[in-house]
Structure formats: C-alpha cells, structure tokens
C-alpha cells in the first residue's frame, strides 16, 4: 500500500512597508539599533573601568603587604642578638609586640574598607577580637575611648608600631643609628601612603566621563 506525499512550498514575500504595523516595527528597529550601539559602548567602557579599578586596588593592597613585610624585616635584622645569632629575650618580646600591632592594623584597616568585615569595628567586634587574643585588654580600652571615627581605628596600631620601635631603640634592643631610623620611618610613611591610596581609589572609582555618558544614554 503506497501513500502519496504532497510537498507544499510557501513563497515568502517581504512585508508591505505601507502597512501601519510594519511602519511601527521599522521605527522600533531604528531605536533598537541606536540603543544597541550605546549599550555596547557603555558596557564596554564600564567593564574596562571596573578592571582598571580592580587592578589598581589589587596593586595597592599588595603594596601595603610589601611595606608591612619590609618594616618587619628591618626590625628582625636589626635587633640585638646573642653570640650564637639567636634573638635575646628582649628582642623576641619586642618583635612579638610589633607583630601583634601589625596584625591588628591589617585587620582594622580592611574592616574599615569592606562591608563584609565592618562589624569588627563595633564595640562587640573589638571585644570579640580581644577575647580571641588579637589585642590586649589595654589596647581595647584605648580603642573604645578614642575620640575618632571607627573607620580610623587602624591608625592607632600604626602609631603603636613606631612608638614601640622608638622605645626599643632607647632600650638598646634595636640599633639606633640614623640609617636604621631613616629606613624604618621611610617604610612606615610609604605604608601610610599605600593604604591611603586604597581609600582614594574607592571613593573616586566612578570617573566623571562615565557619569556623563550614562546621562546622555538615559536622555536618548
């Protein structure tokens, strides 16, 4: 038994441009082409700026780590040692105290720049860190009584690092020659400039040109 199969062909004709519906679609096409061009440009510009912002913050964050490491390296190589090259008891205590201030500075600084860790700057967060051994009870008391915004708490450990270093020089635990003093101050000031740059980048991450482009885009 055979079945005949008929093949039907449909001839596709272009739409009549005189029809009102087709005319409306043509106007939509013009708008779409214009919007597509602007959208592509704005998104490309935005992605490029985002990458540049990320790269700048990343480099500054690495610079902060590098300056902290450089400061601690100078301390570790210039403290007084025993005859066999090991640290004296006073030297070890000094390095531990500065190291603790360094860690506290790093924690409070990033807590001031990220919403995720901002709770660490609250009274409860500070007390929790004290209970975990990240700061002493005396340091906690000082931070809670300081008359500065919580976002600037990290400046206190930074000062403690240099104050304790000066004390170590006076106690002959750390070399007190002019070259060592200059190198330590230079590293600390470079550290301050590095972390301050991160705040500047975050506050000014939206370029003025991008804002103008968005306004023009919305007007269209």
Least confident of 81-85, 93-97, 213-217: 213-217
**pTM for the whole thing?**
0.72
Q: Is the pLDDT confidence value at 209 over 80?
A: no
pLDDT at 159 over 60: yes
| pLDDT band for position 6 (cuts 50, 70, 90) | low
Is 122 within 8 Å of 144 (Cβ atoms)?
Answer: no
Instruction: Tell me which of 19 and 134 has the higher pLDDT.
Output: 134
In this predicted structure, the answer to whether residue 156 has a pLDDT above a threshold of 90 is: yes
Question: Cβ-count burial of 7 within 10 angstroms (0-12 exposed, 13-18 middle, 19+ buried)?
Answer: exposed
């Amino acid at each position: 038994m055979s079945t005949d199969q008929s093949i039907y062909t449909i001839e596709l004709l272009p739409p009549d441009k005189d029809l009102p519906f087709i005319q409306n679609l043509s106007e939509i096409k013009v708008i779409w082409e214009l919007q597509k061009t602007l959208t592509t440009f704005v998104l490309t510009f935005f992605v490029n700026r985002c990458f540049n912002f990320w790269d700048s913050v990343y480099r500054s964050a690495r610079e902060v780590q590098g300056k902290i490491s450089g400061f601690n390296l100078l301390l570790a190589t210039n403290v007084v040692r025993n005859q066999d090259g090991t640290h004296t008891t006073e030297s070890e205590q000094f390095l531990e105290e500065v190291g603790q201030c360094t860690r506290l500075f790093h924690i409070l600084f990033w807590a001031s720049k990220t919403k995720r860790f901002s709770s660490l700057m609250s009274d409860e967060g500070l007390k929790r860190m004290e209970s975990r051994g990240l700061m002493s009870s005396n340091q906690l008391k000082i931070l809670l009584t300081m008359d500065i915004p919580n976002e600037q708490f990290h400046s206190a450990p930074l000062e403690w690092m240099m104050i304790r270093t000066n004390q170590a020089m006076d106690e002959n635990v750390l070399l007190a020659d002019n070259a060592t003093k200059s190198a330590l101050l230079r590293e600390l000031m470079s550290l301050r400039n590095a972390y301050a740059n991160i705040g500047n980048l975050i506050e000014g991450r939206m370029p003025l040109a991008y804002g103008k482009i968005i306004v023009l885009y919305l007007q269209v």
